[in-house]
Structure 1
Amino acid sequence: MYLIASTNAGVGLPDAMKVLRRGGSAMDAVETAIRAVESNPDDHSVGYGGYPNLLGEVELDAGIMWGEDLTAGAVAGLKGFSHPISIARKALEHLPHVLLVGEGAARFAREMGFSPEPLLSPEAHETWRRVLENWLPPDATEDPGNLPDLWRWVEITTDPERTHGTVNVIARDHEGHLCAGVSTSGWAWKYPGRVGDSPVVGAGFYADDRYGAAACTGTGEMAIRAATAHSVVFYMKMGVTVQEAGERAMQDLNDLGGRYLSGMNLIAVDAQGNHVAFSNRPDATYLYFDPDMEAPALLPRTQVPLKQRWVLHRDLPERLAT
């Protein structure tokens, strides 16, 4: 039994380990850990307190996958519910679908007994207001929804080097089953309706008891295009070690072209419990926790340099292009 997670999952790992120690499933543990992060107002990348889109609306995404039978559930663009990971699990358990979005996801949440609640914390709201004042035209700061060309402004405010984050957790239980889960509020100040890799099976998360599991944080558009999480598991299926599988999946990101390329972080584990983590940054860390440990261990990630590119439209307003 063990837990592997992004560093910001530390607030939830002790309770998740309690779940595993008393015989709970890997899915129970993943949900427990991620719910704690979703409730943490100091984490502005997940759940309550997450930074909103450019219109000031908090939109949440989450996904979860069960490695025994490859079932999965996910929600995207969810407004008004602070625990998308639990709603994603309900989708896995009760629907023939994998991914619900927007109003449909919110309706399903209500049907499952979840209560709507405000998601925009005072601190996140104040930060959003400062962004509007710093970047948008003076006549748009009160209501950016009136901008006829919002896309021109969102291009600079969603620079992933400035604002992004996610939580991911992988668990293995006493029966040997793997589960991977991810939750996020997405890029701060994103274009309304933007969905990254977190709720996309094979992009942001993947789990298969036979081979292993992987999960991503970072520039979700890149993980979607490269199917990063699935690639890690597929490479292990082809017989390579989890270390080599992760390195290959990270290097695959360097094959991507286009104007928007930035960072990626990856955690992975094989069926034997060997765990690794990668990042394009030299100082990145992750957490590992097993029942013989009193507390999670903070471990370094292997650095894999990635191409960085963020090319603005040439017709962007002059003061934003400088």
Structure 2
Amino acid sequence: MILLANSEAWPGFDQTVELLKNNAYGVDAMVAGISAVERNVKVRSVGYGGWPNMLGKMECDAGVMDGTTREVGSVGAVPDTLPVAALAHEVMKRLPHVMLTGEGARRFATEIGFPVDDVLYEDSKRVWWDRLQKELLPDELKAFPDIPLAPLSRTITDPERVRDTTVFLAQDSAMGIHAVTSTSGWAWKYPGRVGDSPIAGAGFYADSRYGAAACTHTGEMTMRCGTARSIVLALRFGHSLRAAVDMAMEDLGQLKTGFLAGVVIHAIDAAGNHEVASFQCPGEIKYWFWEPTMSKPELRIARQYDPQRATQRGS
């Protein structure tokens, strides 16, 4: 068994560990843990503690993948819903579809008994409105929200406030390798923006035969490169986990246009190895790790990707 998650997973990581110790199905264990993250207001990138879109409305994304069956459930830009990872899991279990978005996802949530949640934390609302007042002209504030939003997307959207996601990757006692993600997305994003977190192959991917990967930070880049799937595919072709991650980061480095920033990759393989690597993210990146020989989970430091020292292809 193994459990890997980013640093913001702390409210639910121990719960997932205990469930895995008791032979729980990996997706169930991770959804339970990530639900605790979604409820915790101190985590400012996910759920109730997250940040609203440009209009001051919360829209959350999530995805789950069973690596043994390769079934996927995901939801994007969901309003009025806190446990979006659990909702994505229900999409996987109940529907012939892979993804629901927006009001359709909220309708499905209501049909299966999910309450309508108050998801906008008062402090997030305050910070959002303060930012608008600083950025908009008096006439624009008076007319808001009936103003063009696209011209504001590079000024009011603040990707430096938060571009993170909570990602959980696990190999359970049945040797199934699975992935679960949840996020509120970019602060002040354009309404309806969906990042990589609910996109299988970009923000997450799992295949019990080989391994799993999930990404945080700049989803626009990993969607363009199919980052998570590329790592698992490299494992299938016989590359080591480090080589697979470095190849994915090399691919990200080839992007020269569009919005470019940092990405953090979390990955595990079927042999129990793990890698967490930072691509052009400032500062020290940390992550949570646990496997059964450890007395308790550990908060560790991710390696910084250095293209000059990257593992060579084929190693």
**CA distance in 2: counterparts of 1:137 and 1:305, whole angstroms:** 43
CA deviations 1:153-175 (Å, max 9, x no partner) are 12223242333211000011111
Residue in 1 that maps onto 2:41: 41
| Pairing 1:99-118 to 2, within 5 Å after superposition | 99-118=99-118
Cα shift at 1:257: 2.7
Distance 1:74 1:231, change over 3 A: same
The residue type equivalent to 1:293 in the other structure is M
Residue in 2 that maps onto 1:160: 159
TM-score, normalised on structure 2?
A: 0.94
Residue in 2 that maps onto 1:141: 141
Cα shift at 1:258: 1.6
Residue in 1 that maps onto 2:310: none
* Structure 2 residue 18 is matched with structure 1 residue 18: yes
SS in 2 for 1:217: strand
Do the aligned residues in 1 keep the contact of 2:44 with 2:162 (CA within 8 Å)? no
Residue in 2 that maps onto 1:268: 267
**CA distance in 1: counterparts of 2:7 and 2:35, whole angstroms:** 15
How many pairs are equivalent? 305
Identity of matched residues, %? 41
Distance 1:141 1:42, change over 3 A: farther
Residue in 2 that maps onto 1:180: 179
Do the aligned residues in 2 keep the contact of 1:5 with 1:170 (CA within 8 Å)? yes
Residue in 2 that maps onto 1:299: 300
**CA distance in 2: counterparts of 1:140 and 1:293, whole angstroms:** 56
Do the aligned residues in 1 keep the contact of 2:132 with 2:156 (CA within 8 Å)? no
Show structure 1 runs of 4+ deviating over 4 A. none
CA deviations 1:18-73 (Å, max 9, x no partner) are 11111211111110121111001111211112100010000000000001010000
Cα shift at 1:283: 1.3
**CA distance in 2: counterparts of 1:177 and 1:105, whole angstroms:** 27
**CA distance in 1: counterparts of 2:64 and 2:46, whole angstroms:** 15
Residue in 1 that maps onto 2:31: 31
**CA distance in 2: counterparts of 1:114 and 1:9, whole angstroms:** 23
Do the aligned residues in 2 keep the contact of 1:168 with 1:216 (CA within 8 Å)? yes
Which runs of 5 or more residues in structure 2 are unaligned? 308-315
Do the aligned residues in 1 keep the contact of 2:35 with 2:85 (CA within 8 Å)? yes
**CA distance in 1: counterparts of 2:146 and 2:94, whole angstroms:** 39
The residue type equivalent to 1:234 in the other structure is L
**CA distance in 2: counterparts of 1:270 and 1:103, whole angstroms:** 36
**CA distance in 2: counterparts of 1:105 and 1:273, whole angstroms:** 35
Q: Single out whichever of 247-256 and 130-139 deviates more from structure 2.
A: 130-139
The residue type equivalent to 1:129 in the other structure is W
* Structure 2 residue 250 is matched with structure 1 residue 232: no
Cα shift at 1:210: 0.5
Do the aligned residues in 1 keep the contact of 2:35 with 2:83 (CA within 8 Å)? yes
